[in-house]
Amino acid sequence: MSMTFSGQVALVTGAAAGIGRATALAFAAEGLKVAVADFDAAGGEATVEQIRAGGGEATFIRCDVTKEAEVKALMERVIAAYGRLDYAFNNAGIEIEKGKLTEGSEAEFDAIMGVNVKGVWLCMKHQIPLLLAQGGGAIVNTASVAGLGAAPKMSIYAASKHAVIGLTKSAAIEYAKKKIRVNAVCPAVIDTDMFRRAYQADPKKAEFAAAMHPVGRVGKVEEIAAAVLYLCCDGASFTTGQALAVDGGSTAI
């Protein structure tokens, strides 16, 4: 399987930490130039520093993906910096809901949908013309196993990830003949800062999270990054419109 990316350019949103940072580092390790985008400037700059320390090339661009003007400016800055865009990993997302459907607030709904759905839509809206102009490319969006089924006490979050999968599949069909592939990754529980805040303060919760997966542990950010790189590489040239579960077997139960 070909994993050759030499001389190409990748954009990663939500790259200040966690899955986004791991994927930006993985792209850089494969020789790509990486545009690191995030609302968190300190975290984004730290990701760039790690890439450069490893001999890679990267640029940080601050962006609020819920604002179209900022997303448009992000794409313009990627082109100004590198002259092209080959791959985009639309990973920026939030998870702030902790109660049953009737306990949610309008503010929570707007915040989750704004970043997780509107942000992905806006990014694809402004990425696709760049990919069309150069004859193709690949986009990967971060969904979730919550987008493949139910997520009690996380109904808004689940709805947002179902929507990401809908956007992914629709865009994939619209641009399939234009050599633009669009897929999504659907992680289960992954060992990120968010996970540690939510679970590791309570060992019983951490044990429960591990037990949710037939493999007996939570996932690693590097495992999601590997899936993203696969979906972008030439070896996945016949793969589009898919929601790839990277979940330790949890959706197979």
| Contacts (Cβ under 8 Å, ≥6 apart) of 167 | 117, 120, 121, 124, 141
- E strands in 80-155: 87-90, 137-142
Residue 131: Cβ-neighbour burial (10 angstroms; 0-12, 13-18, 19+): buried
Which residues are catalytically annotated? 157
- E strands in the chain: 9-13, 33-38, 57-62, 87-90, 137-142, 180-187, 243-246
Closest CA to 88 of 161, 20, 144: 20
Q: What share of the chain is helix, strand, coil (3-state, %, to 5)?
A: 50, 15, 30
